[in-house]
Structure 1
Amino acid sequence: MQTNLKEAETIAIAPTSAQLLKIGQVATQSDFSVKTIRYYEEQGLLIPVVMRSPTGYRLFKPAIFNRLGFIKRAQSLGLSLNEIGEILIIRDRGELPCGMVRKRLLLKQKTIHEQIEALEILRSELQYILSGWQEKPDRDSFDRTICPNIET
């Protein structure tokens, strides 16, 4: 019996049960907790690399490590799991999501810049308040205020 080339490629690429990893093995080798891996699966982030055994155990393809590495790095850059999920959907369609990743990172950079500006304004305001701080403010304002140093 002869198989066509496409079937032969599928057979050669499909992982054998020896290549599949249980969740504990993935956790040990990746430094992610079992709980986190389960959560990522529930969120749909691991769809193409996880399957179930006939008895219901999670079995992972070796590509799980690339996927977990991407998730970890994307989170460290400030992307949310929802954003990461959207990026992974594009990748799972067979496309490189670099354009979307760039857009997300540019937006994240803009947000951080705005937060830094707001924090610098807050720091200036705190410096101003602390520079005129009175340890024992006027007793006459006692009934009208809680802390006259910060109430203007």
Structure 2
Amino acid sequence: MKIGQLSAKSHVPIKTIRYYEEIGLLPTPDRNEGNFRLFSPENIARLLFIKRLQLLGLSLQEIKECLMVSDRGELPCADLQAKLKQHVETIDLQIQDMMALRQQLCETLQNWDETPIPQANIICPNLQV
């Protein structure tokens, strides 16, 4: 199938498909007499897999590493599991940081003076450190 058909069936823009080919996420397709790329139906599944991993937070580099394992005929499941666990840990840390920030914001707003008195060289008295 041509790139337009692949794009329509995978819901991935043509520009993205070309980029994925350029960075090695998609194998270089064969070309027909008119020099049009000819993709196999397996590329649809590969694109959907790439998109699924992106939705789970993996970078294109991490996805490429998993696809390289698969391209060697091995299952990348153990590697994917490790990457996903690492992302969970990262998200947990981000949640902790966000909760601490939320607490600081709430404390700042709790003591907020709605009618502060202007002071020289003070931009906002409510936010003085």
The residue that corresponds to 2:105 in the other structure is 126
Post-superposition Cα deviations, 1:47-94, rounded to whole Å, max 9, x if no partner, equal: 16x223344321101100110111011001000111000110111011
The residue that corresponds to 1:46 in the other structure is 26
The residue that corresponds to 2:42 in the other structure is 63
- Percentage of identical aligned residues: 47
RMSD of equivalent CA atoms:
1.3
Please state whether the residue corresponding to 1:149 is helix, strand or coil: helix
The residue that corresponds to 2:87 in the other structure is 108
AA in 1 matched with 2:63: I
Equivalent residue runs for 1:1-152 within 5 Å: 21-47=1-27, 50-139=29-118, 142-152=119-129
| Inter-CA distance 150–51: structure 2 relative to 1 (3 Å threshold) | farther
- Give the TM-score normalised by structure 1: 0.80
Report the structure number with the largest CA radius of gyration. Answer: 1
Deviation at 1:138, TM superposition (A): 2.7
What is the count of residue pairs matched by the alignment?
A: 129
CA distance in 2, matches of 1:80, 1:122: 26
CA distance in 2, matches of 1:144, 1:112: 40
- Give the TM-score normalised by structure 2: 0.93
CA distance in 1, matches of 2:84, 2:124: 42
Deviation at 1:34, TM superposition (A): 0.8
Deviation at 1:29, TM superposition (A): 1.1
Which ranges in structure 2 are unaligned for 5 or more consecutive residues? none
CA distance in 1, matches of 2:59, 2:41: 24
